[in-house]
Structure 1
Amino acid sequence: MATTGRVRPSPLLAAWLALGFAWHCALHHAPAAAVTLSTASRWVVDEAGDRVKLACVNWPSHLEPMLAEGLGKRPVGAIAGDVATMGFNCVRLTWPTFLVTNASYSSLTVEQSFQRLNLTESLAGIRANNPAVVDLKLIDAFKAVVSSLGENNVMVILDNHVSKPGWCCDNADGNGFFGDGYFEPDVWVDGLTKMATMFAGVPHVVGMSLRNELRGPRQNSNDWYK
């Protein structure tokens, strides 16, 4: 009788599945200060070997303005403080690849980014609530958000959500799969490398999500199992 062996997923696919599962591990947690994390078997642990349960909330920063949402309404420190007060110990902070790889985006200040989109009311709100970020380059404003989360003992996972900044997701948005209009693999890797290098010395940045929701008509088993 012929038998078939178990099909094992590739390391890349296994990593994606593990990453997706991690977001659901948020029960019976306590807020945690920044720590160096590693894995022991299937658990995430701290330096002492104690299990750490990530209780993460999403904070979008990948939309067209490329600034964390809400800064036109409240000071960044107040938002970060509320995250901790509500019992979360982690933020999944989204970012678009072009923030660090495309000069037409990365060269913009916060003010210029909002002006080009004619978001005058939102810009006025940022001036009122977060005046210190208005003249910053977008990546420096992103760093300011990361810093504020650290000051409130909130860990950060950098989430590469899309390449071109904008709403996610659609199968035809050009951000879905390797080779799509805005998803060139070498540019993607360059963006990941730049962000990993930039935040390597920031202790409360504890991880990076490599890409959000691979999707669309170009996906295929050959590329998934490379």
Structure 2
Amino acid sequence: MNKPTFPLSTRGSNIIDASSPPKHVRWVCVNYVASLETLLPEGLSYLTPDELAVTISRLGFNCVRLTWSIEMLQKGHMNAVGPGSAFAKYASETAQADIVRVNPWIAQATVLQCLERVIEALARQDLMIIADNHVSKAAWCSSVNDGNRWFGDSCFPVDEWLAGREKHYIVPANTG
């Protein structure tokens, strides 16, 4: 697939790029979960961010829907795998050992630094990124009773959501 010229826009029901003449852009996206209780992008106990990005690209995808949570931003100053971290609380001892073995830098990184590394790796592969603020409370989603569905639910306080959106920007690095 050819790399589109940014910014993208629409013409009728088509997404087009900024080239002259504009080219139709077909998104072939994969979901990449980073909105679960560990507060880290999944798969880092198996591959580095660069290896994950290369794999996604080689599989023919040109776009990644990267989920994240407001809780990730609120607790993003925490060490990614350190004592008391969400990763240490929710991941098995094996997963904790594997993530440091595969990605030694994570032992000293914060949650947000881990997310940044993943975004940078995706951008290096020219993958378009849809940063999806998927949930407020980090968890597997979409239960009718999870309290995480819409404004005013028990895990979705509007003031926290607005504060997270105002203070933190998750912007794909390859938009220019």
TM-score (norm 2): 0.87
Q: Is the 8 A contact 1:67 1:110 kept in 2?
A: yes
Partner of 1:110: 80
Alpha-carbon distance, 1:190 to partner: 2.7
Counterpart of 1:98 in 2: which secondary structure?
A: helix
Partner of 2:53: 80
Partner of 1:189: 162
Counting aligned pairs with the same residue, the percent is 31
How many residues in Structure 1 have an aligned counterpart in Structure 2?
A: 171
Alpha-carbon distance, 1:199 to partner: 2.2
1:45 and 2:2 are equivalent in the alignment: no
Partner of 1:176: 149
1:199 and 2:159 are equivalent in the alignment: no
| Alpha-carbon distance in 2 for matches of 1:166, 1:36 | 32
Unaligned runs of 5+ in 1: 1-29, 206-226
Provide, for residues 123-160 of structure 1, a one-character-per-residue CA deviation record: whole Å limited to 9, x for no partner. Answer: 11111111122311101110100000011111110011
Q: Is the 8 A contact 1:93 1:156 kept in 2?
A: yes
Please identify, of 128-137 and 151-160, the stretch whose mean Cα deviation from structure 2 is larger: 128-137
For the structure 1 residues 204 and 72, does the alpha-carbon distance in structure 2 shift closer, same or farther, using more than 3 Å as the test?
farther
| Alpha-carbon distance in 2 for matches of 1:88, 1:34 | 17
TM-score (norm 1): 0.69
| Alpha-carbon distance in 2 for matches of 1:31, 1:68 | 27
Q: Is the 8 A contact 1:107 1:137 kept in 2?
A: yes
For the structure 1 residues 160 and 31, does the alpha-carbon distance in structure 2 shift closer, same or farther, using more than 3 Å as the test?
farther
Aligned-residue CA RMSD (Å): 2.0
Larger Rg: 1
